[in-house]
Structure 1
Amino acid sequence: MPRNALYAVIVLVLAVTAAVVSFLKGNWLGVVWILMAGVASNIAWYHFRKDRAQRRDPAAAEQG
């Protein structure tokens, strides 16, 4: 697993946890945490796919 993807997954889990806690306390600031979780999931997905593509074709990864 790429390191950046691992960090993004950790941020994703923490953001979802913070959102749940915020909503349970009645604070609407949890919406910001949900948005952050969305960005983190996109970053993780990007790095997973990039790593998978590099493993399939290492020569293409060196070109661009």
Structure 2
Amino acid sequence: MGFWRWKRGRLDLVLFLSQILAMKMILLMSVFGVRVLRLGTEICSRGGDGGHLLGL
């Protein structure tokens, strides 16, 4: 009985940690995406042929 409780506790901990990790990854990706978008719009607004540098 105690084993299952321990196993479930571990599973809850793993799920909790993976949730935190997922949240951090989403936050990182959104911040990175905003920076890339800003960079892209900056390059496009300059009207240069710099779009090819980003592979756009």
With normalisation by structure 2, the TM-score equals 0.54
What's the C-alpha RMSD, in Å, of the aligned pairs? Answer: 1.8
Question: Which portions of structure 1, spanning 4 or more consecutive aligned residues, are displaced by more than 2 angstroms?
Answer: none
1: CA distance, partners of 2:18 / 2:41: 35
Structure 2 alignment gaps of length 5 or more: 1-6, 47-56
The one of the two structures with greater contact order (alpha-carbon pairs below 8 A, sep at least 6) is 1
SS of match in other structure, 1:46: helix
Does residue 49 (structure 1) correspond to residue 46 (structure 2)? The answer is no
Equivalences, count: 35
1:31-42 equivalent positions in 2, closer than 5 A: 31-42=16-27
Structure 1 alignment gaps of length 5 or more: 1-24, 60-64
The equivalent residue for 1:28 is 12
Structure 1 residue 57, shift from structure 2 partner: 1.0
Structure 1 residue 54, shift from structure 2 partner: 0.4
- Measured against aligned partners, the alpha-carbon deviations of 1:9-58 in whole angstroms (never above 9, x if no partner) come to xxxxxxxxxxxxxxxx8411210110000000000001111000001114
1: CA distance, partners of 2:40 / 2:18: 33
